C-alpha cells in the first residue's frame, strides 16, 4: 500500500500520475469505463484500463467512489468508511472469494469511533424526534466533504449476476451454499463487537421504524394487494420484529446487500462484491434478502425449502436447529420490505433500477405468501 495521497473525489481526478503514485508503478495512460449503470445506488464503479511498461502492473482495476447524487445519504449511513475498513481489517478472514485490494483510503473522522454510542442514544429517543435527527444527520453528513476510494481487483474472468433477470434455483442454492462459510467463520464471535464501524443490525431499529412509518402511505400506494398486508403489518411491528430476530438468532457477520448484482460467477464458483452495508446480526437475514430478490415467483415452497436446506447444511451450526433458522428466515423476509421502501433520499434509476425494484417486490410477495405474521413476534 502506498502512502496516503489526496483522495480523488471525481472520476476525472483518477489520472495516470495519481494512479502511479498510489500503486507504486508507472502508468503511462488509462481509459475509464463506467460500470453498473442503474445498479449502484450509493457508489460509482469504474473499470480502469491501464497502460504500463511494467509487467507486474494489472491491465485493469476497478475503482469505487461515492456516487455524487447519493453521497449525503451514503455518508450518513457510513457505508463508504465501512467498506474500506471491512477490506482492511476483515477481508482476509472471510472464507469466500472477494476482490483483492490494491489501494484503499478514506478521510478519518473523529466521530466515527463513537457511532455505536451515538446511535444507541438516538434510538432511545421518542419517535417524534426521528425526522429532526434525520434532517440534522443529513446536514452534518453533507457538510463533511469526506473522500473515499477503493482500487480493487477486476474479476474479469467472472460473469456478473443479474438481479433484473433473477436466477435459477440451482444458482440460488449455490450462492447461499458458498456464502455459508462466511457466516460460520464469525458465528457468535465477540470480536465483532470490537469493530466500531461494524454496527449491530438492531442498533437503530426504532429510528428505522419511524422512517418506515413516514413513507408507509406512499409505500402502500406503490405495491399491489399481494404485498400490501405485509407492508402495513411491518409498519406496526418493525422494531419488535427486529428486536425478536436479533435477540434469538446467533450473531455473525452479515453482508446486508446480498443480491445478484453484487455477485459474479466463474462456472460454479461465486465471488461476492459490495460490502458497504455490512453489519453484525443474524445470518437468516442475508438468506431471506437474497432469496427474496433472486428466486422466481413461480418456484413453489418445496423448491424454496430445498434451497434453504442446502444453505443450512453448509452452515453446519449444531446449536441452531433448522426449525429455528426457518422462523428467523421468515422474519428476515418481512424485514426485507424495509430495503424496498420508497425514500426521497436515494435516487434510483428511472429505468432498470425502478423495474428491478418492482420485480424484487413480486419475488418477495411470492415468498411471503406462506408466512403467518402472527407467529413471528
53 in the same domain as 201: no
349 in the same domain as 214: yes
Q: What residue ranges in 2-53 does DSSP mark as E strands?
A: 29-35, 43-51
CA 344-277-64 angle, 5° bins: 90
Which range marks the domain in which residue 351 is found? 159-375
- Looking at residue 1, its pLDDT comes to 44
- Looking at residue 120, its pLDDT comes to 77
Of 103, 134, 153, the one marking the end of a domain is 153
Count of structural domains within the chain: 2
Check if the beta carbon of residue 76 is closer than 8 Å to that of residue 268. no
> Mind listing the pLDDT tens digit for each residue in 263-303?
999 999 999 999 999 999 999 999 999 999 999 999 999 99
173 in the same domain as 111: no
- Using alpha carbons, list the distances in angstroms from residue 292 to 150, 296, 336, 368, 369: 29, 9, 8, 9, 12
- Looking at residue 123, its pLDDT comes to 75
Q: In what order do the strands lie in the sheet with 269-272?
A: 159-160, 263-266, 269-272
182 in the same domain as 146: no
Residues with pLDDT less than 70, the chain: 1-4, 36-42, 68-73, 125, 127-144, 344-350
- pTM over 0.85? The answer is yes
Of 128, 153, 178, the one marking the end of a domain is 153
244 in the same domain as 147: no
Position 78 in a domain: yes
181 in the same domain as 105: no
Position 5 in a domain: no
274 in the same domain as 184: yes
The enclosing domain of 324 has a CATH number of 3.90.1200.10
325 in the same domain as 247: yes
Of 153, 183, 213, the one marking the end of a domain is 153
> Mind listing the pLDDT tens digit for each residue in 79-131?
899 999 999 999 999 999 999 999 999 988 877 877 888 777 777 767 655 66
CA 166-297-238 angle, 5° bins: 95
Position 352 in a domain: yes
Give the separation between CA 282 and CA 288, rounded to whole angstroms: 11
39 in the same domain as 183: no
The enclosing domain of 30 has a CATH number of 3.30.200
56 in the same domain as 37: yes
Amino acid at each position: 500500500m502506498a502512502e496516503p495521497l489526496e483522495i480523488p473525489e471525481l472520476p476525472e481526478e483518477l489520472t495516470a500520475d495519481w494512479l502511479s503514485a498510489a500503486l507504486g508503478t508507472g502508468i503511462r495512460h488509462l481509459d475509464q469505463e463506467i460500470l453498473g449503470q442503474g445498479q449502484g445506488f450509493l457508489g460509482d464503479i469504474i473499470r480502469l484500463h491501464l497502460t504500463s511498461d511494467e509487467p507486474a502492473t494489472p491491465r485493469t482495476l476497478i475503482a469505487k467512489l461515492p456516487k455524487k447524487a447519493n453521497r449525503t445519504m451514503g455518508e450518513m449511513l457510513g457505508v463508504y468508511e465501512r467498506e474500506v475498513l471491512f477490506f482492511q481489517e476483515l477481508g482476509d478472514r472471510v472464507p469466500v472469494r472477494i476482490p483483492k485490494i490494491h489501494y484503499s483510503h478514506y478521510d478519518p473522522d473523529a466521530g466515527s469511533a463513537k457511532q455505536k454510542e451515538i446511535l444507541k442514544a438516538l434510538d432511545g429517543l421518542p419517535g417524534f424526534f426521528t425526522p429532526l435527527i434525520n434532517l440534522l444527520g443529513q446536514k452534518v453528513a453533507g457538510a463533511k466533504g469526506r473522500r473515499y476510494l477503493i482500487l480493487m481487483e477486476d474479476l474479469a474472468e467472472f460473469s456478473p449476476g443479474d438481479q433484473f433477470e433473477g436466477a435459477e434455483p440451482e444458482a440460488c442454492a449455490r450462492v447461499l451454499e458458498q456464502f455459508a462459510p462466511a457466516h460460520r467463520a464469525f458465528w457468535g464471535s465477540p470480536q465483532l463487537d470490537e469493530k466500531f464501524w461494524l454496527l449491530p443490525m438492531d442498533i437503530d431499529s426504532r429510528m428505522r421504524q419511524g422512517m418506515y412509518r413516514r413513507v408507509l402511505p406512499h409505500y402502500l400506494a406503490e405495491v399491489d394487494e399481494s404485498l400490501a398486508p405485509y407492508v402495513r403489518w411491518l409498519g406496526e411491528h418493525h422494531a419488535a420484529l427486529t428486536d425478536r430476530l436479533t435477540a434469538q438468532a446467533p450473531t455473525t457477520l452479515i453482508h446486508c446487500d446480498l443480491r445478484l448484482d453484487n455477485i459474479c460467477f466463474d462456472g460454479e464458483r461465486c465471488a461476492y462484491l459490495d460490502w458497504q452495508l455490512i453489519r453484525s446480526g443474524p445470518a437468516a437475514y442475508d438468506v431471506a434478502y437474497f432469496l427474496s430478490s433472486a428466486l422466481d415467483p413461480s418456484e413453489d415452497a418445496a423448491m424454496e425449502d430445498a434451497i434453504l436446506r442446502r444453505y443450512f447444511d453448509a452452515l453446519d451450526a449444531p446449536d441452531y436447529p433448522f426449525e429455528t433458522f426457518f422462523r428467523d428466515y421468515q422474519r428476515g423476509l418481512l424485514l426485507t420490505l424495509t430495503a424496498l421502501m420508497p425514500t426521497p433520499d436515494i435516487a434510483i434509476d428511472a429505468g432498470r433500477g425502478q423495474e428491478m425494484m418492482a420485480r424484487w417486490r413480486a419475488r418477495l410477495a411470492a415468498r411471503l405468501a406462506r408466512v403467518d405474521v402472527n407467529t413471528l413476534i
